[in-house]
Structure 1
Amino acid sequence: MGSIKIFADSTCDLHAEWITKYDIGIVPLYVTFSEQTYKDGVDLSVPELYRKVDETGKLPKTAAPSPADFIQAFAPYAQEGQRILYISLSSELSSTYQNALIAAEEFTEGTVTVFDSLNLSTGIGLQVMKAVGAAAEGKSVEEIVHMLTAVRSQVETEFVIDSLDYLYKGGRCSGMQNIVGSLLRIRPVIKVEGGKMTPAYKIRGSREKALDQLLDNALSRLPEMDNDLIFVTHSLADEDAKMLKEALESKTNARLVAVSNAGCVISSHCGAKTIGILYTKKLA
């Protein structure tokens, strides 16, 4: 049996160093401003994204990789006799998963396995790293998928959005809600449940208060928390991410607390200074 090649897409928000070190294949999504289309994380950086939004006053459109994109990415490894396991952005949020399934049909049966993470950002990345570890232990694709099926329902994904501006530009709140929310300094908290982004609650007041609440929510789950890997993922909020990382390191017994930068697709939906804590709960 050939080796296993793990794939994800650009929304997994894993460090470039990890992607290289663990030989993870990445298929980028697309970000489009007017007539110009960029590959997420390849042709466009997050600071450039925000500059373009400021210049145009409009959010870009985002799009899934096409089946052809997936075929092109998978083909060299399939030709070498490797089995491919692709862990996708939630099927509830994008057609990425479906396009990968279409691509998989172009290969010999069993060559490409597509797994729906039912998550986003490093909620995907957590699952990718679990798969990487299992593959290194010699687990089969079927065994890894069985493990991931149990793990994905245990992933906790919670983000604080700093401003309602991007939700307003994206049509997710009204102009009046944006004005009132800004005046009252309301920061929405987004969770991922059932593969969908869900407004969990709102925090009114300072950013410090919001960050404290985010941290307290995570620490309240400490007895349930898998102590292998915790992510602090953010969009241009380096100092806050550093603070949360240090707090989690001191208050948990996690093997690793990693800081990760959200890519262009994730950032285009949430805006600058969005920050989240992501981890998995222990399996029963």
Structure 2
Amino acid sequence: MKIRVLTESGCGLTKQEANDLGIDFLPLQVQIEDKTYLDGVDLTVEELNSFLERGFMPQTSMPPLGDIEALLESYKKDGITDVILITLSNGLSGTNQAIQASGKWHGVKIHTLDIYTTLGVEKYLVLSAQKLVEQKIHPEEIISRLKESVEHSRGFLIPEDLDHLAKGGRLTPMAAKLAGMLKIKPILEVSKNTEGKVDVFDKVRTMSKAIKKAVKVISKDANAQDYEFYVLNGENQEGTQLVIDELHDVFGENIQIHTDPMYAVIAVHTGLGAVGVQFVKKVKGA
């Protein structure tokens, strides 16, 4: 049995970073006006943020089908028998289904799951899967352990730029204008509770109250010993620090917090100024 871990850029790794870890990588596509970029290959988070600052409205789509086919064909030639596939949720993209279909066509067994989210939780699951592969754990056992962690995961996004959400069709222009006047901040959720789609969890006044509400909800489901926490910074250092401070207040100073920039897969929808916070139960043995 020859096994590979495969992911896409929703996990926040670049192609080089993934390959250095022995992980295979497919880039999501980012369309900016008439040009298409490959996320994590020829487009960095900093470059994407620069486009957002200048008022562009990027869109994302699944990895190029030709790249998927070429990779699965190479697996067949190289004798790869099993692939552990970890992608962003099926509610956000058809990437997982496309890769499974290609694997079936090429006779490569795909072991996968719906993680119902993306961002930091996806990164953690990818890194954990690679560690378990290196420990010679059977693919089905790895998927079972990942599923257990996904069952105990959740994530919230708090956007600052409501006009950007409106331009992207996720909020009406009138609702965005009214919310801005009233300083209303929607708390968005992407988890199993929302079937892996972006949905509104709650609406509160001010970014500070939104962050406190999100962390309060998290405090009911997680603890410092058994969970990993991710904070995503969409060019909002003040909000990011407030999330970190709130997590420390609730869980203590020994909590494990990973801080990353907001990855392209979500940043194109929220625009600049957003913050995110996620938790996931630690994967057994990883």
* Mapped contact 1:14–1:125 kept (Cα < 8 A): yes
Unpaired stretches in structure 2, ≥5 consecutive residues: none
- Report matched runs for 1:99-138 at 5 Å: 99-110=98-109, 112-138=110-136
The size of the alignment, in residue pairs, is: 278
SS at match of 1:272: coil
Distance change >3 Å, CA 272–CA 154, structure 1 → 2:
same
Which residue is 1:35 aligned to?
34
Instruction: For 2:204, give the aligned amino acid.
Output: I
Give the superposition deviation at 1:89. 1.4
Which residue is 1:150 aligned to?
148
Distance change >3 Å, CA 282–CA 139, structure 1 → 2:
closer
Instruction: For 1:152, give the aligned amino acid.
Output: V
Q: Which moved more, 1:184-193 or 1:274-283?
A: 274-283
Q: TM-score scaled to structure 1, two decimals?
A: 0.85
2: CA distance, partners of 1:16 / 1:231? 21
1: CA distance, partners of 2:225 / 2:75? 32
Instruction: For 1:90, give the aligned amino acid.
Output: S
Instruction: For 1:24, give the aligned amino acid.
Output: I
Give the superposition deviation at 1:117. 2.0
1: CA distance, partners of 2:222 / 2:90? 29
**CA deviation map 1:184-232 (0-9, x unaligned):** 1111111122212110001212x33333333333233345x66342111
Instruction: For 1:135, give the aligned amino acid.
Output: V
Which residue is 1:237 aligned to?
236
1: CA distance, partners of 2:73 / 2:261? 29
Instruction: For 1:182, give the aligned amino acid.
Output: G
Q: What's the RMSD between the two structures over aligned residues?
A: 2.8
2: CA distance, partners of 1:75 / 1:167? 39
Q: Which moved more, 1:167-176 or 1:233-242?
A: 233-242
2: CA distance, partners of 1:17 / 1:246? 32
Distance change >3 Å, CA 252–CA 103, structure 1 → 2:
farther
Instruction: For 1:85, give the aligned amino acid.
Output: I
1: CA distance, partners of 2:227 / 2:12? 18
**CA deviation map 1:61-93 (0-9, x unaligned):** 221113322232344455433432111111111
- Report matched runs for 1:61-80 at 5 Å: 61-80=59-78
Which residue is 1:140 aligned to?
138
Which residue is 2:166 aligned to?
168
* Mapped contact 1:188–1:201 kept (Cα < 8 A): yes
Unpaired stretches in structure 1, ≥5 consecutive residues: none
Which residue is 1:23 aligned to?
22
Q: Which moved more, 1:155-164 or 1:18-27?
A: 18-27
